[in-house]
């Protein structure tokens, strides 16, 4: 069974590229030289984070799988194989 989550990410330019993070997933940060690289990296990090939460039976934060109502940030759809607890 597959599950699709939409996560809101924040992206900020820094000296050498872009810092990106998921506010709903504490500690889920990444970086890339380009915006596209940063978004690809955070997608991979968020997928691993959510996969770990599912494996440990932790609840997925509501914001991590519902579209954001905030105008800032970008939403990335994630599709992961849902694991049985």
Find all residues with CB under 8 Å of 36, minimum gap 6, and list them.
none
How far, in Å, CA of 4 to CA of 2, rounded?
Answer: 7
Banded pLDDT at 77 (limits 50, 70, 90): low
How far, in Å, CA of 71 to CA of 50, rounded?
Answer: 24
Q: What is the pLDDT of residue 2?
A: 66
Domain residue limits at 20: 2-81
**Residue 53 parent element (H or E):** helix 35-55
Q: What is the pLDDT of residue 71?
A: 43
Q: How many domains is the chain partitioned into structurally? A: 1
* Residues 5-60: tens digit of each pLDDT: 778 899 999 999 999 999 999 999 999 999 999 999 999 999 999 989 989 999 98
Q: What is the pLDDT of residue 82?
A: 46
The pTM is what?
0.73
CATH number at residue 61: 3.30.160.250
């Amino acid at each position: 069974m597959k599950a699709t989550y939409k996560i809101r990410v924040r992206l900020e330019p820094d000296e050498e590229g872009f810092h990106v993070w998921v506010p709903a997933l504490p500690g889920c940060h990444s970086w890339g030289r380009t915006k596209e690289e940063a978004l690809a990296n955070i997608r991979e990090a968020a997928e691993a984070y959510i996969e770990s939460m599912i494996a440990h039976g932790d609840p997925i934060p509501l914001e991590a799988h519902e579209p954001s109502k905030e105008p800032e940030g970008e939403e990335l759809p994630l599709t992961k194989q849902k694991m049985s607890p």
